[in-house]
Amino acid sequence: MEENLGTDADQFAALVLHQLTVVGEHDAQYHPADFKIVVGTLDLYLSNIFRETAELPAAERDGRIANFVASVTDDDEPDTWPAVRAMLRPILRPNTFGINSPTGGMRPITRPAFPFIDELVAVDRPHSRSIVSTATLRDWGVDADEVFAAARENLTALVGSAGYQGTGLIRFADNGDGYCTSWPMVPGWLAGSGDGTHRPLAFIPDVDTLILAPDLDDLTSLFEQVEQQYREAVRPISPQAYTVDDHGTVIPLDQSPDHRHRALALRARCGLAITEYSAQSAALTEAVDRHLAYPDHEALAPAFAGSVHYASADAGPYTTTLWAKDVEYLLPEADRIIFCTEQNGKMTTLFEAPFTAVAELTPLTPIPNMTPRRYEARHWPTPETLARLEATATPR
């Protein structure tokens, strides 16, 4: 685990064990080091529900625990593809969702939805929600494309593709059954939403909140509110605004050129990038410290997992990362790379170059199947290459 949750966590686990006993599960075992309970062959990781219920009244907390336990004690749950197909729903999660979960067949199936955001598939049962993994596909005998298609089809049948017509700010709070944060994935839904005059914006700061807003002149306060909710969320998704292009395709607002809120959109994009790369850096560093290898990348030689930082210029916010001489990196894809050297224990900045130029002029090697994307940067550029990179440098 990333932190020591202490006695309160142990007391919470005792509540879950008690509820398991009530429903007849008497052989469950608590593993405090992993903050999980093992029921037969099933591992129940408690971190998410522990944090989600931390501030709830005791009665509501106990109800959530009961629903959680019901997800593993319902003997009537279907486990065949024909039986489960109608229960599939698409969900959105950030790239690093489940980054510390077991490797192999337990990993969820994913496909890119937006930068730093993936689409997954959930099985929506009466008392629980489980996420489809690669092992699940093997059990069902179907491929991932068929599962994603079925989930989209089911959601479209539930909410339609006409969108939600209304004026002003509209906030949807999910009770666990509505999947409102997934509605913008339905083709045509976001394009058809709003007041019919202004281009619609959608915000999904956490797994239970969808905010629709018209693209008005002053949105500073709304972006600030969404950013705060994203930062404080137990299960965040994104601080970004999403809109539609001229073809009705959903895109992050920062990809809308010359938009009047571009600075706000870029700040949100930078915040999402920094959060996701920070979580990934921590996981990669911990993996090397503990196992001297990376999960799912055992052949990848250890290197420093660089971080992403926030910067700002007249053109708006952007992200940076460092590339220092004599250090091997797993380099994140920041907007700009700061080249620097160390002399007499002091770090000296040489210049700051756009990532696009660095990727073109240096032998960066993308690491397959790693999200967010990183590159192996194991050799300091030659003097000739450094000179060419410095020619592309952007003013600081």
The residue with greater pLDDT, 369 or 59, is: 369
18-22, 100-104, 379-383 — which is least confidently predicted? 100-104
Q: Count Cβ atoms below 10 Å from residue 248 Cβ, excluding itself.
A: 12
Q: How far apart are CA 2 and CA 14, in angstroms?
A: 21
280 three-state secondary structure: helix
pLDDT at residue number 1: 33
pLDDT tens, position by position, 192-211: 999 999 999 999 999 999 99
Residue ranges per domain, the chain?
Answer: 6-73, 81-159, 170-260, 272-391
**What are the Cα distances from residue 284, in Å, to 53, 278, 304, 366, 377?**
29, 10, 9, 16, 16
Task: Please give the DSSP secondary-structure letter assigned to residue 108.
Answer: B
> What is the arithmetic mean of pLDDT over 59-67?
84
> What is the arithmetic mean of pLDDT over 373-392?
96
Q: How confident is the model at residue 63 (pLDDT cuts 50, 70, 90)?
A: confident
* Positive or negative: CA dihedral 265, 271, 272, 273: positive
355 three-state secondary structure: helix
Using CA atoms in the order 7, 67, 21, 13, what is the torsion angle rounded to 10 degrees? -10
pLDDT tens, position by position, 141-152: 999 999 999 999
> What is the arithmetic mean of pLDDT over 144-173?
96
pLDDT tens, position by position, 311-366: 999 889 999 999 999 999 999 999 999 999 988 888 899 999 999 999 999 989 89
325 three-state secondary structure: coil
Could you tell me the maximum CA-CA distance found in the chain, to the nearest angstrom?
71
Q: Count Cβ atoms below 10 Å from residue 360 Cβ, excluding itself.
A: 12
Beta carbons of 127 and 67 less than 8 angstroms apart? yes
pLDDT at residue number 322: 97
Q: Is the pLDDT of residue 26 over 60?
A: yes
pLDDT at residue number 3: 40
What backbone torsions phi and psi does residue 285 show, to the nearest 5 degrees? -65, -45
**Type of residue numbered 198:** H
- The structure's pTM equals 0.84
pLDDT at residue number 175: 77
pLDDT tens, position by position, 214-273: 999 899 999 999 999 999 998 899 999 999 999 999 999 999 888 899 999 999 999 999
Q: How far apart are CA 31 and CA 47, in angstroms?
A: 12
